[in-house]
Structure 1
Amino acid sequence: MREPLSVPAGPLVDVPWLAAHAGDDRVRVVDCRWYLGGRRGADEYARGHIPGAVHLDVDADLSGPAQAGPGRHPLPEPAAFARVLARAGIGPESLVVGYDDAGGAIAARLWWLLRYFGHPGGRVLDGGLQAWTAAGHPLSTEVPAIAPAPALDLSPGGAPVVDKAAVDRLRQDPSAVILDARARERYEGQSEPIDARPGHIPGARSAPFAENLRAPGGAFRERADLERRYRELGALDEARTVVCYCGSGVTACHDLLALATLGRADVILYEGSWSDWARDPALPAAKGPDP
């Protein structure tokens, strides 16, 4: 009889753990690299990835069709996501470790989707690809031959989601905190490279996902630093409701991941995020550094 798989508590795993367990057929490693423009994650994967990893793409695999829901990256339908997981060899007992080269900002979307659809095995590699190579571990250009798994019967609702109408109500609720995970220049409306108009949801607080990390693309900050950060944002014990958003519901999952490491697992994702809010001219937008 096989020994049970020893898994660290919490949503993060480190490089030593993954190096020791990556060859275990109960562990599925997923390269989640994806970029807003220019580079393609699939191309970077082909140039070199963690051995045994498969690649999943935000647009094709971790989102539904853009026209099928709010924002640029609506949530996939259960049957569609079940097919993605089956293709990647992910079964009900799999431990799924996602990584990227952006400090977990993209891999967090996979972790969150697994939670949302009721799969408990999602994890993110702390420090991502850079931590793996910095520890002296090799990359591979070989695409692994993974037998498809039977499609899972997925049910949405394992993690909370809200729409723009709910966010419009919550932004006026003093017991609710809304966090914007985009870079500060986008929050302040200094630049808007992709969505319909610049600015942020009035009342939302700036909480760039990059500030969860020790350095750009690096590992998460120490727990005490994260606690201090989110306490200053009002997003720990004092807030009854916390909602996170970003441009399209991808990097907001990094703030959700950070809060989950602190024990706050009830934080809500605004699915459509700014790409949904900004395209509705009836909804207000604020600019500048203040909520």
Structure 2
Amino acid sequence: MCPASARNVIISASELGAVLSGSTSISTPPVVLEVGRKNGDGVDPRHSYATGHIPGAHYVEFEADLVGTPTGSSGQGPLPEVGDLQGRLRDWGVDDGGTVVVHTRGNPAVAARAWWILRWAGVADTRCLDGGLAAWQAFGGPLDTAVPPPAAGTAVVRPGSLPVLTAEDAGRLATAGHLVDARSPEAYAGDPRRTGTGHIPGAYSVPGSDNFSGGRLRGAAELRALYADHLDGRAVGAYCGGGVSATTTVLALASLGVEAALYPGSWSAWITDPARPTTTGTDPGARPPAAR
């Protein structure tokens, strides 16, 4: 694979297949991670993994492995503890300076969150498998039921390798730059009759689902058109409900060579402080003065 770069954020199924089959000159194949997230239907996604996965892929449990312990002000998806994450990366066989490919069987936002966490942790050459496992199967890639044992990687976590916004940063960015809300239009608009709904004043709605078509990241021309109003050179940041969907915004912009910061706590953290302003409706709303 090519050296990591701002544009180098995804890999196609055919490219991954060539690497894993030894058809390229790459001496060290990437670590492949399948990320599963429980969705409340009682089905453990690990069972699907066990029935057949990309050969050599390790299973990653979204909540246990990529999310820290929530506190009263952290929001739903706080960052994982550095020591815990480093231990898991090593168990998955991730080496310092190595390459990782992440994917899911469904929602691409889950893979984007894994991509973001690993890059935030300093695993610079982390890619999302474009289209996830469905694309791998459509390509004709093989599946395996063998579960790889814990490995002995050498990864060193370097937190902060991608930019992060605090609540105060997000409020300021809504004034001085571009703050993108990646939730659905309905969640963004909220309901004026219900407290805790709506969006951060000054934030613009660009749903994270719009970054994809058929489960694959849209092409550069489509993404530039989607974000045209926010590519004027000023700083860009993203948030959502709990810090997952917004990582698709960061991923999409990274594919264009644009670095966007993530507000990990997102709306679920923003509303823990009643002093923070909120607004409802389909317009960004009055841009607030810089947050204190």
Q: TM-score range by the shorter chain?
A: 0.7 to 0.9
2:127 is equivalent to residue 123 of structure 1: yes
Which residue, out of 20, 33, 44, partners 1:22? 20
Name 2:203's counterpart in structure 1. 204
Say if 1:54 and 1:143, in contact at 8 Å, map to a contact too. yes
Paired with 1:271 and 1:290, the residues of 2 have a C-alpha distance of 23
Distance 1:212 1:200, change over 3 A: same
2:56 is equivalent to residue 52 of structure 1: yes
Please, which moves more after superposition, 242-251 or 68-77? Answer: 68-77
* 1:49 Cα deviation from its structure 2 partner: 2.2
> In structure 1, what residue type is equivalent to 2:18?
A
2:227 is equivalent to residue 230 of structure 1: yes
Paired with 2:128 and 2:72, the residues of 1 have a C-alpha distance of 28
Say if 1:33 and 1:42, in contact at 8 Å, map to a contact too. yes
> In structure 1, what residue type is equivalent to 2:167?
K
Name 2:145's counterpart in structure 1. 141
2:241 is equivalent to residue 247 of structure 1: yes
* 1:58 Cα deviation from its structure 2 partner: 2.1
Name 1:32's counterpart in structure 2. 35
RMSD: 2.2
Name 1:90's counterpart in structure 2. 94
Say if 1:104 and 1:125, in contact at 8 Å, map to a contact too. no
Say if 1:72 and 1:275, in contact at 8 Å, map to a contact too. yes
2:275 is equivalent to residue 271 of structure 1: no
Residues 44-78 of structure 1, C-alpha deviation per residue, up to 9 Å, x if partnerless? 32333222111112211112111387111111222
* 1:275 Cα deviation from its structure 2 partner: 0.9
Distance 1:82 1:114, change over 3 A: same
Which residue, out of 172, 177, 180, partners 2:175? 172
Residues 134-164 of structure 1, C-alpha deviation per residue, up to 9 Å, x if partnerless? 22223333212352223x3322221111111
* 1:254 Cα deviation from its structure 2 partner: 0.8
> In structure 2, what residue type is equivalent to 1:117?
A
SS, match of residue 64 in structure 1: coil
* 1:228 Cα deviation from its structure 2 partner: 0.7
Paired with 2:48 and 2:178, the residues of 1 have a C-alpha distance of 37
> In structure 2, what residue type is equivalent to 1:187?
Y
Paired with 1:185 and 1:47, the residues of 2 have a C-alpha distance of 37
Paired with 1:23 and 1:85, the residues of 2 have a C-alpha distance of 23
> In structure 2, what residue type is equivalent to 1:257?
L
With structure 1 as the length reference, what TM-score do the two structures score? Answer: 0.86
SS, match of residue 48 in structure 2: helix
Distance 1:220 1:47, change over 3 A: same
Say if 2:173 and 2:236, in contact at 8 Å, map to a contact too. no
Residues 170-223 of structure 1, C-alpha deviation per residue, up to 9 Å, x if partnerless? 2233xx111111122211226xxxxx83221121111111111123xx111121
Paired with 1:42 and 1:63, the residues of 2 have a C-alpha distance of 17
Distance 1:207 1:137, change over 3 A: same
> In structure 1, what residue type is equivalent to 2:165?
V
Between the two proteins, what is the percent identity of the paired residues?
38
Paired with 2:237 and 2:164, the residues of 1 have a C-alpha distance of 9
Distance 1:239 1:7, change over 3 A: closer
Name 2:289's counterpart in structure 1. none
Please, which moves more after superposition, 38-47 or 273-282? Answer: 38-47
Say if 2:76 and 2:265, in contact at 8 Å, map to a contact too. yes
How many aligned residue pairs are there?
273
* 1:14 Cα deviation from its structure 2 partner: 0.2
Structure 1, gaps ≥5 residues long: 191-195
Paired with 2:116 and 2:201, the residues of 1 have a C-alpha distance of 26
> In structure 2, what residue type is equivalent to 1:16?
S
Say if 2:99 and 2:123, in contact at 8 Å, map to a contact too. no
Paired with 2:105 and 2:167, the residues of 1 have a C-alpha distance of 30
